[in-house]
Amino acid sequence: MGTATIRDVARQAKVSLKTVSRVINRESSVREETRERVLRAIEQLDYRPDLSARSLRSAKAYAIGLVYDNPNPYYIIAVQQGALAACREMGFGLQIHPCDSRGPKLAEELRDLVHRSRLAGLVLAPPMSERMALLRELAAYNIPLVRVISAAEDPHDGFPCVFVDDRDAAYAITAYLIQLGHLRIGFLWGGKQHRSSPERYKGYEKALQDYGVPMSDELVLEGDYSFDDGFRGARRLLGLAEPPTAIFGSNDEIAAGVLAAARAAGLHVPYDLSVAGFEDSPFSRHSWPSLTTSRQRTEQIAEHAARLLIAQIHGGDVENEGFSPELVVRGSTAPPRPKA
Amino acid sequence: MGTATIRDVARQAKVSLKTVSRVINRESSVREETRERVLRAIEQLDYRPDLSARSLRSAKAYAIGLVYDNPNPYYIIAVQQGALAACREMGFGLQIHPCDSRGPKLAEELRDLVHRSRLAGLVLAPPMSERMALLRELAAYNIPLVRVISAAEDPHDGFPCVFVDDRDAAYAITAYLIQLGHLRIGFLWGGKQHRSSPERYKGYEKALQDYGVPMSDELVLEGDYSFDDGFRGARRLLGLAEPPTAIFGSNDEIAAGVLAAARAAGLHVPYDLSVAGFEDSPFSRHSWPSLTTSRQRTEQIAEHAARLLIAQIHGGDVENEGFSPELVVRGSTAPPRPKA
DNA sequence: GTCATGACTGACAACGTTGTCAATTTGCGA
DNA sequence: TCGCAAATTGACAACGTTGTCAGTCATGAC
């Protein structure tokens, strides 16, 4: 039993190897009757083409790589699911490759990966997707790639991408807080090495300007997309002489840290303090109160990126595409308590 | 440029293809001097063996599959990281395969996966790892596998495994709650289709018996390892005429739901209600208060499973091995408030 | 009836590697 | 120095697939 090969199919269908190959690859110029006979034989023998042999022989490869360095499991799982969906549909395999974005020889590492595993190309998640030097090196190695990046618009920098308008989304969240009546809104930065981080800050800044809300340096703190940074940052903000009435964390984990700090300080969210996150991870639904946040559609974005990559490999014309996050209002935000 | 092949190396080192192959595969009987010459050539040309060609030619494969159906991102990411660590060390690739554990043709699906991608074997996470029918089918297909399962001891059922003593760990948590002074301890089940679930219940039950704490059916509710089940279950338990003073959720997500329900009911954790989880996911550290739980060492378990699988493929003798979780005490548990 | 045309099919080589087996070299005792 | 086993090396086929190119077969125009 074991595993039928194309040879067995050919024998069973009484045709040549090549004809079977043609049927499998949907090439034209196979008579309908022959095609059916071959398909029947494939069915009977439960034949599946061997991906190794296939990619060895044809220049083409039948798997792509997914490269990331991101400590957020919710984000990664969503990206994997999306990429896998696209791969399954197109008959591709997916090779995951978590890595260190600061590794000195990342380009070589990725080239070896592509070469050894015969990958057709790479999907790069942030922050790898934002390091131009890396992108140029990979391009020099002729490795097809598609990036997921944070940008308000198509960057037109020659590298295909799926871009997410973090700035606009952060603007929406900030504007929403302002409309609730908040005038002192704290902002906790995400990681410096992620482009999404300054983008989100810019959205925050612009909303304050547009609505004429005074900016204040003491309300803005750096961090690194982590729970602990959210906790520490919130503690500092809440210790100010004039503390904020709302805090906008650059992602849900930071916001979770803010929630914890607020509780530790005996504050009641949302009445004493409004908290907003960013990402719509399951965490934002499961925290108490649940988090007002920005829905990213990570899974669709990743699926689209993988699809784009495969299309590019097939030689199709590739159009960059943008996704707009969407404001999700939950229980962690409310109008500020009127001053006693 | 592109990619050097073994042929280029052979030419450069002035030896035959086969000799290069021998050096790469660390076979004996290559003269030291020759070996060095070949290694130098490999270095100069930056040669990497092509995994497709390699696994096509040799019966052996150079990648393993990781099969799971688990909605918990923290768990999955930890499993992936562990398996990847083992794979990288042994020069293997890792193919991830999320799937539907209730799919009717799972065995065929996995066989196709193994065949098409030329996998050397599979690591099965729960609940797939616990379905004997599936295991037997895969064995009939001659697919090497290693399971991660919940069991107090080596099951000796013929399938290699890494087993985790959930029962003992649940016993430890329950005993700890009893020692704090709790006499009415609620228990929220995990998913029926996971073996870990009854195991955890048995640990809970045994501790109550050993300490002579009366059992009460109304304190035990079914669920499915989800936040929502924790929330609903806790609401029901707290609505009892004589509510529990502590609730043990079968995993951290359930416990998070309990925390939310307690807060919604105006209860102060841990003083009005103690809550314990299971798993030590990052969530248990980030919730407020942080969760008393049981540390699973998921990453090491997965790494060990992958290592076991690779050893098995290499024909080594394989010993099943057990891991004992460890009690982690955090802020969500305290002695019950004395009755007024 | 012949011939050109186009649709369809098949023989064979090749992808980059390892297994088999035979050839060559080396080392060592006599 | 010779002979023989052991160590080392190489030639060649094979893994399962697809690309190239040549061959066969109907079809329709003359």
* pTM of the entire predicted model: 0.86
User: Which of A73, A80, A264 has its CB closest to that of B74?
Assistant: A73
- Is B334 in a helix, a strand, or coil? coil
Hey, what are A130's tokens?
Answer: 């934002």
Tell me how far CA of residue B163 lies from CA of B98, B200, B296, B302, B325, in angstroms.
21, 14, 11, 11, 11
Q: Is A57 on the interface with B (CB under 8 A)?
A: no
Percentage of chain B lying above the pLDDT 70 cut: 98
In sequence order, what are the residues at sequence separation of 6 or more whose Cβ sits closer than 8 angstroms to the Cβ of residue A19?
Answer: A10, A13, A30, A34, A38
Per-residue pLDDT of chain B (340 residues; tens, 9 = 90+): 457 899 999 999 999 999 999 998 888 888 888 999 999 999 999 888 888 888 888 766 778 999 999 878 889 999 999 999 999 888 788 989 999 998 889 998 998 888 878 888 999 999 999 999 999 999 888 888 999 999 888 888 889 999 999 999 999 999 999 999 999 999 999 988 899 999 999 999 999 999 999 999 999 999 988 899 999 999 999 999 999 999 999 999 999 999 999 988 999 999 999 999 999 988 888 888 999 999 999 999 999 999 999 888 776 667 788 998 999 999 999 999 987 6
**Taking a C-beta distance cutoff of 8 angstroms, is the pair B122, B67 a contact?**
yes
Give the one of A51, A115, A256 whose C-beta lies nearest to B3's C-beta: A115
Instruction: List residues bridging with B145 in a β-sheet.
Output: B122
Cβ-defined contacts of B226-229 (< 8 Å, 24+): B226/B71, B226/B253, B226/B254, B226/B257, B227/A282, B227/A285, B227/A286, B227/B253, B227/B254, B227/B256, B227/B257, B227/B260, B228/B257, B229/B188, B229/B254, B229/B257
Mean of pLDDT values over A256-274: 94
A283/B283 touch (CB, cutoff 8 Å), yes or no: yes
Q: How far does the CA of residue B209 sit from the closest CA of chain A (Å)?
A: 34
Residue for token pair 């991870």:
A281
Distance of CA A229 to the CA centre of its chain: 22
- Name B259's Cβ contacts closer than 8 Å, sequence gap at least 6: A288, B269, B275, B287, B288, B289, B291, B332
Q: Which of residues 34-93 of A touch strand D (CB under 7 A)?
A: 47-50, 53-54, 56-58, 60
Helix (H) or strand (E) holding B10: helix B6-13
Mean pLDDT of chain B: 91
* Closest nucleotide C1' to the C-alpha of A48: D16
Cα(A338)–Cα(A69) distance, integer angstroms: 44
- Residue that has been written with the tokens 């990648």 in this structure: B63
Which sign, positive or negative, has the C-alpha torsion B70, B72, B77, B78?
A: negative
Record: contact B116-A283, CB cut-off 8 A? no
Shortest alpha-carbon distance between residue B8 and chain A (Å): 16
pLDDT tens-digit map of B108-146: 899 888 887 888 899 999 999 999 999 999 988 888 899
Query: What's the Å distance between residue B305 CA and nucleotide D23 C1'?
Result: 55
Measuring from the CA of residue A21 to each C1' atom, give the nucleotide at the shortest distance: D18
